[in-house]
Structure 1
Amino acid sequence: MTASSQPAAPQEINLEEFETKHRSGPWLNRFVFTLSIFLAVAHIYINTIATLPELWVSAFHFAGFGTLCALLIPANPKWRESKIAMLCDGAIVLALIGMVLYIIFFEDALYARGVTFNNADWIVSSVTVLLALELIRRTSGWFIPFLIIIALTYVVLWGQWLGGMFTFPGLSVETLLYRSFFSTDGMFGSISRISWSFVFMFILFGAFLVKSGAGDFIIDLSRSLASKMIGGPGFVAVLGSGLMGSVSGSSVANTVSTGVITIPLMRKAGFPARFAAGVEAAASTGGQLMPPVMGAGAFIMASYTQVSYVTIISVAAIPALLYFLSVGFFVRVEAKRSKVIATESDDAVNMSQVLKNGWHHIVPLAVLVTLLVQGFTPTYAAGISILAVIAASFLSSKHRMGPAAVLDAMAQGAKNMSTTAVLLVGIGLVVNVISTTGVGNTFSLLITNWAGGSLFFTIILVAIASLILGMGLPVTASYIVLGTLSAPALFNLIAEGQLLDMMSAGSLPEAASAIFMLVNPSAIATLAQGMPMEQAQALLAQVPADFKGMLMDQALGAQSVAMILVTAHMIIFWLSQDSNVTPPVCLTAFAAAAIAKTPPMLTGMTAWKLAKGLYIIPLLMAYTPLIGGDTQTLLHLTFFGIFGMYALVAAMEGYLEDKLSIVTRVIALAASAMMLWPNLALWIQCIGLAIFLVLFVIGNKSYKKNM
């Protein structure tokens, strides 16, 4: 293995900048440990046995994890040891406990008064909203509280001052507080329910896996699979981060946990330090795209689309595979350019030994997948899989999970959940405003108008909006807000595009054609034979909005309509990931830069380049049946997608198996377009593939000649 000189880092980043500065102390640690175990046990009970009102559970969920945040995270790092600050945090804890008790014992009294607030209602609901703002500020900064304040004041104050599409007559403060606090549409609504059920159970499952030693097994397995490949350490990062991210659900945590192993491995092999950090950041970002957890996105998507969780993770698998392959192609190209060759290394790991020592870690994942496929709920499947982790650990002598290890895993899972729980509850306030005011539909119409009805430009606008939101919002929160705002616009454009294709081809079902009878009876004959696209667009524009939903169901079928809705949300979810790797705010890239000791902004630019699949693959989702297509179609798209992405990487890097000239880069780009461009004839795609293979073979011969 040829090691190139490692560039000196211009500046060193302290890794603590990416981790919350928690309080600690003997009594506090013991109390937090006990509280964390209590919250874990309580949530397991709630999700398996209890039948409590969802409002009560959501309030308890917020109070419990809000207490953890208040105790662990000071209002200001400088006040960590201040007695006054500790007293204020104690008051916050008491207020949270009082809030839960008030909902339990006095909710009925509110309805007995005809939903008219008394002084206690005003105080408790107002204080709870303020507590949510403060706790989110501590955990996530000022951006999200500012966004919540803007949303709430829009409803009661300045919305009526706006003109045009976004004007809103306004609601009373009492109505807003009722909908925010007592209603199941506000902070204790559907997003909170997802948080205390699906998200918590899978984060707890991930904590048990890590405690059982599964993290080490994943890294060792990745090293055994990829170490002998060209650029092996880079592929270890891609594979290890993908596997780890599939259960961790956090790109920054994924980067920190796997990057401390993979980045030094890549640098030792001869990869440039900045490239190594970029690979880890891009691969860790992809971990949120990989089933089964997907950073809580799969659960929220299932709730929004009313499509089963199993279906969501099933259709997400192939796009995620394409993404990781695209990062892997960058690794191979850079390995060839940096002369990182495949060879045995001193720290090579034997696969048979890895499987012999850690095969039992596969058992809980197999149990999880089996239960999900059999139709059990995700919470039930996660609960049984946690038990499977404990049982499987006794198949090894190294990481047996006795009572102490089980308690540690429960406590760690609860602490891992604390900031996520507070954030999701707070984001419920924004979602409530969007649904109450109808601003989501307005925003969708606005995007459609700005894009001129173009699906491509709509996706570009959504990508820009996701990047701006992602500068202040975590990925999951960004997806929630943007999905609520722009998913209807994407859904309508994708569905109408497919409908227009059917009208143009003359393949519209009779039931759908009958709807056009009400609009333009003279067009029925032309519809049966097919019509020019311009004429089809004009005819579709005549259909009243109230009939378009029925028309789509009749023409496309309920299953196809559901998959189009999933496609719209999946595109937004993918685009929401770009803030992890796109400057100026890209925490995943910054965390990787801290490990590699490289400039953070330049590392972010490298990670952004390596994560180009975040933009290419959503386009494939929009224009092809990559989501929800039949097996033959998916195999076709995947096959040409793989080679098309490889050709695109070669064109971007100017290197395939050997250096490419300007002419051959253009040829590689053309070959990529021929394979990736939607709805091209098969013979054109085959020509593109042949061109790419010729470039590959010629470059390989040239590379061997120069070695």
Structure 2
Amino acid sequence: MVNVTIPVILLLGIILIKKIPYIGGNISVGLAACALSAFLLGGVFNPVNWILGWIDGIDRISWVLALIVFGSIYGEMQVEIGTMETVLNSLRARFGHSPKGLVTAIIISLAIAGSLLGDAIASATVVGVLIIKSLHEMEISGEGISSIIVMGACLGSIMPPITQALFMSSSLMGLESPDPAVNIGYFTIGIGVILVCIYASKMFIKINSLPEDLIPAKTSSQILKEGWKTLVPMAVLVAIIVLRSGFKIEVLNILNPIFSPISKIPIIKGIDFAIVKAIIVATAVSLFYSNVRKNAVQIIKRGLVNVKTSVTILLFAGLMIGAFYNAGQIATVQKFAQELSPNILKVGGAAAMALVGMLTGSQTTTQTAIFTFFGPALTATGVDPVHAAVAGAHLAMGGQGLPPADLTTFVVAGLVGGTLGMKVDPIKSMFYSAFMCFYFIIIGFIFMYI
């Protein structure tokens, strides 16, 4: 196991010990150091094999890369069109006539935004700026406002269709398609949204009625009638997914002549996945809007800038994943796992994912560092690969949001504090959000045992 433990210690050491000169806290450097040490300890000394391993590793997560890039561009187009404002305003008009109803509408809007943007920080920023002052008028503390936004946005970021966490775990499990895990995600996150709405209503609402200026003047139907055009691209995306998941109607098959030539090309073939193609179609529909066409270059640039860091990390994660598979670390862990009690493996692995998530504040880093080994080890003990993928995504999300390092909370707490001109304690906000995190962890355990 030395060939496994040393690379992982290197990775976590570089990421967590920020005082290391020049490289401390740099995730990409940590992943590269981990990968190179894995190659060397596995007896792979030829740099050509390192490059081939890197290509293999990136190819394994090619769907995730394609999803992030095209999903971000699509999300920016929806911001330009005004999709989220229409969704938020219509939900406020439908449910927001009471304090609890308004908080529920906000959380659902954040979840929808996250599911379309695929990123918690992006959705928290897009929707958060629209609702911070409204929540403040309801006498909710800055930490409470931050927690509400973070929980809604994080639920959205793992909610399909654009779900980085489930795509990542499915890739690491080597599933032929993420669809089975993604379909389960609709159910688990749907329940999570309901529970978080109840929790937030009980935890943060201290008033019995809304200030008059927060009660919508228009009805939900009036808002939808005026803004229905902004919902067309989203409706196209939803229709494709519903037809595919609910009725097994593959409308995207008409695009096969276009995508078939790239379906066998390493890395590029990540584009030839159903959800990515659905996003591309919805993006093409968005181009029918004049403001999108007019600002297309700037929109695409914003979308790419938004995911620059994520893509860089994933490229180096591909190097590490390729090293682990090609230098024998995965096989070593699978063999070791067969000698362990399944309960010890599951509890220990889940604890490791939660701990790394807490310390790094990143589900991507958590999955790359731990689930790359932990996922295959679970299957070695008899866990269904789809269930393992669902468990890994939820455990990583649960650990990410716990104190003390959740990046989303730090960003949102700063946004809330800046908007309201007050100090917002991000750690206190993380404790408020722990309800959601423990829900994710419980779901992770359930799917390891069923």
State whether TM-score is above 0.5.
Answer: yes
2:354 pairs with 1:467: yes
Name the CA distance, whole Å, in 2 between partners of 1:150 and 1:620.
Answer: 31
Name the CA distance, whole Å, in 1 between partners of 2:397 and 2:275.
Answer: 24
Name the CA distance, whole Å, in 2 between partners of 1:303 and 1:378.
Answer: 18
Correspondent of 2:95 among 226, 243, 246: 226
Q: Which residue of 2 aligns with 1:421?
A: 311
Correspondent of 1:208 among 62, 74, 77: 77
Name the CA distance, whole Å, in 2 between partners of 1:140 and 1:411.
Answer: 29
Contact 1:278 1:610 in 2 (8 A): no
What is the RMSD of the two structures over their aligned residues, measured on CA atoms?
2.9
Q: Which residue of 1 aligns with 2:266?
A: none
What secondary structure, in the 3-state scheme, does the structure 1 residue paired with 2:208 have?
coil
Correspondent of 2:374 among 467, 486, 489: 486
The 1:380/1:365 distance shift into structure 2, 3 A limit, reads: same
The 1:245/1:139 distance shift into structure 2, 3 A limit, reads: farther
The 1:438/1:270 distance shift into structure 2, 3 A limit, reads: same
Contact 1:223 1:236 in 2 (8 A): yes
Correspondent of 1:378 among 252, 275, 282: 275
Letter in 2 for 1:190: R
2:67 pairs with 1:198: yes
Question: In the comparison of the two structures, how many residue pairs are matched?
Answer: 393
Contact 1:255 1:281 in 2 (8 A): yes
Contact 2:118 2:156 in 1 (8 A): yes
Letter in 2 for 1:365: M
Superposed displacement of residue 313, structure 1: 2.6
Superposed displacement of residue 152, structure 1: 1.0
Q: Which residue of 1 aligns with 2:212?
A: 345
Contact 1:139 1:419 in 2 (8 A): no
The 1:198/1:147 distance shift into structure 2, 3 A limit, reads: closer
Correspondent of 2:141 among 259, 262, 272: 272
Q: What are the within-5 Å matches in structure 2 for residues 550-561 of structure 1?
A: none
Contact 1:277 1:592 in 2 (8 A): yes
Contact 1:227 1:342 in 2 (8 A): no
Letter in 2 for 1:437: A
Correspondent of 1:282 among 133, 148, 151: 151
Q: Which residue of 2 aligns with 1:598?
A: 424
Letter in 1 for 2:363: V
Correspondent of 1:153 among 37, 44, 53: 37
Letter in 2 for 1:453: P
The 1:196/1:284 distance shift into structure 2, 3 A limit, reads: closer
Name the CA distance, whole Å, in 1 between partners of 2:105 and 2:208.
Answer: 14
Superposed displacement of residue 202, structure 1: 2.0
Q: Which residue of 1 aligns with 2:51?
A: 181
Contact 1:199 1:296 in 2 (8 A): no
Letter in 1 for 2:60: S
Contact 1:184 1:190 in 2 (8 A): no
The 1:230/1:473 distance shift into structure 2, 3 A limit, reads: closer
Superposed displacement of residue 575, structure 1: 0.9
Contact 1:144 1:472 in 2 (8 A): no
The 1:182/1:436 distance shift into structure 2, 3 A limit, reads: closer
Correspondent of 1:408 among 290, 293, 298: 298
The 1:369/1:402 distance shift into structure 2, 3 A limit, reads: closer
2:226 pairs with 1:329: no
Correspondent of 1:616 among 434, 442, 446: 442
Superposed displacement of residue 255, structure 1: 2.3
Name the CA distance, whole Å, in 1 between partners of 2:364 and 2:182.
Answer: 16
Q: What are the within-5 Å matches in structure 2 for residues 620-639 of structure 1?
A: 620-624=446-450
Q: What are the within-5 Å matches in structure 2 for residues 87-102 of structure 1?
A: none
2:44 pairs with 1:171: yes
Name the CA distance, whole Å, in 1 between partners of 2:198 and 2:126.
Answer: 23
The 1:155/1:623 distance shift into structure 2, 3 A limit, reads: closer
The CA deviation string for residues 461-517 of structure 1, in whole angstroms up to 9 with x for no partner, is 23322234333373234324433211123234454xxxxxxxxxxxxxxxxxxxxxx
Structure 2: runs of 5+ lacking an equivalent = 1-20, 253-273, 418-422
Letter in 2 for 1:384: V
Superposed displacement of residue 414, structure 1: 2.2
Superposed displacement of residue 568, structure 1: 0.4
Superposed displacement of residue 421, structure 1: 2.0
Name the CA distance, whole Å, in 2 between partners of 1:296 and 1:390.
Answer: 28
Contact 1:479 1:572 in 2 (8 A): yes
Letter in 1 for 2:92: R
Name the CA distance, whole Å, in 1 between partners of 2:186 and 2:126.
Answer: 23
Contact 2:65 2:314 in 1 (8 A): no
Look at both structures and tell me which one has the larger radius of gyration over its CA atoms.
1
What secondary structure, in the 3-state scheme, does the structure 2 residue paired with 1:424 have?
helix
Name the CA distance, whole Å, in 2 between partners of 1:266 and 1:620.
Answer: 34
Query: Normalised by the size of structure 2, how large is the TM-score?
Result: 0.78
Superposed displacement of residue 425, structure 1: 1.0
Q: Give aligned-pair identity as a percent.
A: 18
Superposed displacement of residue 573, structure 1: 0.8
Superposed displacement of residue 149, structure 1: 0.7
Contact 2:394 2:440 in 1 (8 A): yes
Name the CA distance, whole Å, in 2 between partners of 1:491 and 1:141.
Answer: 32
Query: Normalised by the size of structure 1, how large is the TM-score?
Result: 0.51
Superposed displacement of residue 312, structure 1: 3.5
What secondary structure, in the 3-state scheme, does the structure 2 residue paired with 1:401 have?
helix
Contact 1:201 1:383 in 2 (8 A): yes
What secondary structure, in the 3-state scheme, does the structure 2 residue paired with 1:189 have?
helix
Name the CA distance, whole Å, in 1 between partners of 2:320 and 2:127.
Answer: 34
Contact 1:203 1:417 in 2 (8 A): yes
- Which of 1 and 2 has higher RCO (CA within 8 Å, sep 6+)? 2
Name the CA distance, whole Å, in 1 between partners of 2:331 and 2:132.
Answer: 45
The CA deviation string for residues 649-678 of structure 1, in whole angstroms up to 9 with x for no partner, is xxxxxxxxxxxxxxxxxxxxxxxxxxxxxx
Q: Which residue of 2 aligns with 1:453?
A: 342
The CA deviation string for residues 110-137 of structure 1, in whole angstroms up to 9 with x for no partner, is xxxxxxxxxxxxxxxxxxxxxxxxxxx9
Q: Which moved more, 1:295-304 or 1:410-419?
A: 295-304
Name the CA distance, whole Å, in 1 between partners of 2:437 and 2:106.
Answer: 14
The 1:281/1:140 distance shift into structure 2, 3 A limit, reads: farther
Structure 1: runs of 5+ lacking an equivalent = 1-136, 160-167, 394-399, 496-563, 625-707
Superposed displacement of residue 430, structure 1: 0.7
Contact 2:113 2:123 in 1 (8 A): yes
The CA deviation string for residues 324-368 of structure 1, in whole angstroms up to 9 with x for no partner, is 112112122225xx5332446313333122211222233222322
